[in-house]
Structure 1
Amino acid sequence: MSTTERPAAETTELPAGYERRWWVLATMVVCLLMVIMGNTILNVALPTLQRELDATQGELQWAIDSYILVFAGLLFSWGVVGDRIGRRKVLLAGLTIFALGSVLAAFSGSALELIAWRALMGVGGAAVQPATLAVITNVFPAGERGRAIGFWAGASGLAVAGGPLAGGLVLEHFWWGAVFLLGVPVAAVGVLGILLVVPESKDPDPGRLDIPGVLLSIAALVVLVYGIIRGGSEGWGDTLTWGALAVGAGLLAVFVWWQRRTAHPALDVSLFRSPAFSAAAGALALNFFALQGATFYLVYYLQGVRGYSPLQSGAALIPVALGIALMAPRSSKLAERFGAKAVCATGFALIATSFAGIQLLETDAPVWLVLVDLSLQGIGMGCTLAPATESIMSVVPREKAGAGAAVNNSVRQVGGALGVAILGSVLAGAYASRLGDDVDVLPAAARDQASESIVATLSAVEQAERAGGDAATAAAAVADPAREAFVGAMHLTAVGTAACAVVAMVVVLVWLPGRHRTR
Structure 2
Amino acid sequence: MGLYSEGNRKWWLLVAVSCVLGLVLLDETVVGIALPTIQAELDLSLNQSHWVVNSYLLVFACFVAVGGKLGDQFGMLPVFLTGLAVFGLCSVAGGFAPSGEVLITARALQGIGAAIIFPLFVAMTAMTFPQEERGFALGIGGAIGTIFLAIGPLVGGLLTDLLSWRWIFWINPPIVILIAVVTFVSWRDVDRPPPPPIDWTGLALIASGMFCTVFSLMQSEDWGWNSPAVSGLMVAGLALLVVFAIYELRTANPLIEVDLFKIPVFTASNLTIFVAQYSKMPIFIFAALYAQTELSLSPLGAGMLVMLAALPQPFVAPYCGKLTDQHPPGLLATGGLFGIAVAMALLSLAAPFGNIWLFAPGLLVAGIVTPFVFVPTQAAIMASLPEHKHGQGGGISMSSQMIGGTVGLAVCSTLFAFHKSYVLVFASTAMLLFVVAALCLFLFRRSSPVQTV
- Determine whether 1:509 maps to 2:441: yes
SS at match of 2:195: coil
Deviation at 1:515, TM superposition (A): 9.9
- Aligned partners of 1:396 and 1:83: how far apart in 2? 20
Deviation at 1:197, TM superposition (A): 2.6
Identity of aligned residues (%): 29
Deviates more, 1:137-146 or 1:402-411: 137-146
Is the contact between residue 324 and residue 383 of structure 1 (CA under 8 Å) also seen in structure 2?
no
Is the contact between residue 264 and residue 446 of structure 2 (CA under 8 Å) also seen in structure 1?
no
- Determine whether 1:274 maps to 2:263: yes
- Identify the residue that residue 76 of structure 1 maps to in structure 2: 65
Is the contact between residue 275 and residue 511 of structure 1 (CA under 8 Å) also seen in structure 2?
yes
Deviation at 1:272, TM superposition (A): 1.8
Q: RMSD across aligned C-alpha pairs, in angstroms?
A: 2.4
Map of 1:228-377 to 2, 5 A cutoff?
A: 228-362=217-351, 365-377=354-366
**Aligned counterpart for 2:425 among listed residues 483, 489, 493:** 493
**Aligned counterpart for 2:99 among listed residues 95, 110, 118:** 110
- Aligned partners of 1:390 and 1:137: how far apart in 2? 15
SS at match of 1:322: coil
Q: Which has the larger radius of gyration?
A: 1
- Aligned partners of 2:89 and 2:206: how far apart in 1? 25
Map of 1:142-157 to 2, 5 A cutoff?
A: 142-157=131-146
Deviation at 1:117, TM superposition (A): 0.8
* Number of equivalenced pairs: 444
Map of 1:162-241 to 2, 5 A cutoff?
A: 162-201=151-190, 203-241=192-230
- Aligned partners of 1:38 and 1:291: how far apart in 2? 12
Over 3 Å counting, the alpha-carbon distance change for 1:179 and 1:350 in structure 2 is same
Letter in 2 for 1:510: F
Letter in 1 for 2:336: G
- Aligned partners of 1:513 and 1:336: how far apart in 2? 17
- Aligned partners of 1:200 and 1:512: how far apart in 2? 38
- Identify the residue that residue 3 of structure 2 maps to in structure 1: none
**Aligned counterpart for 1:47 among listed residues 5, 24, 36:** 36
- Identify the residue that residue 387 of structure 1 maps to in structure 2: 376
- Aligned partners of 1:31 and 1:429: how far apart in 2? 37
Deviation at 1:398, TM superposition (A): 5.9
- Aligned partners of 1:277 and 1:202: how far apart in 2? 30
Letter in 2 for 1:500: L
Letter in 1 for 2:424: L
Letter in 2 for 1:298: A
Is the contact between residue 136 and residue 148 of structure 1 (CA under 8 Å) also seen in structure 2?
yes
Letter in 2 for 1:508: C
- Aligned partners of 2:315 and 2:152: how far apart in 1? 17
Is the contact between residue 67 and residue 122 of structure 1 (CA under 8 Å) also seen in structure 2?
yes
Is the contact between residue 282 and residue 426 of structure 2 (CA under 8 Å) also seen in structure 1?
no
Deviation at 1:19, TM superposition (A): 6.4
Normalised by the size of structure 1, how large is the TM-score?
0.80
Deviation at 1:52, TM superposition (A): 1.0
- Determine whether 1:90 maps to 2:79: yes
1:333-383 deviations in Å (ceiling 9; x for gaps): 111212112211211111111111013324654433332211101112111
- Aligned partners of 1:62 and 1:319: how far apart in 2? 25
- Aligned partners of 2:191 and 2:272: how far apart in 1? 29
Over 3 Å counting, the alpha-carbon distance change for 1:173 and 1:391 in structure 2 is same
1:74-102 deviations in Å (ceiling 9; x for gaps): 12222111122332332211111100110
Map of 1:431-450 to 2, 5 A cutoff?
A: 431=420
Deviates more, 1:200-209 or 1:211-220: 200-209
Over 3 Å counting, the alpha-carbon distance change for 1:362 and 1:495 in structure 2 is closer
Over 3 Å counting, the alpha-carbon distance change for 1:105 and 1:430 in structure 2 is same
- Aligned partners of 2:426 and 2:367: how far apart in 1? 15
- Aligned partners of 2:277 and 2:237: how far apart in 1? 21
Deviation at 1:394, TM superposition (A): 4.3
SS at match of 1:374: helix
Is the contact between residue 221 and residue 417 of structure 2 (CA under 8 Å) also seen in structure 1?
yes
Deviation at 1:281, TM superposition (A): 1.0
Deviation at 1:292, TM superposition (A): 2.1
Deviation at 1:22, TM superposition (A): 3.9
SS at match of 1:361: helix
Is the contact between residue 38 and residue 163 of structure 1 (CA under 8 Å) also seen in structure 2?
yes
Deviation at 1:395, TM superposition (A): 4.9
Normalised by the size of structure 2, how large is the TM-score?
0.91
- Aligned partners of 2:384 and 2:126: how far apart in 1? 12
- Aligned partners of 1:85 and 1:60: how far apart in 2? 36
- Identify the residue that residue 158 of structure 1 maps to in structure 2: 147
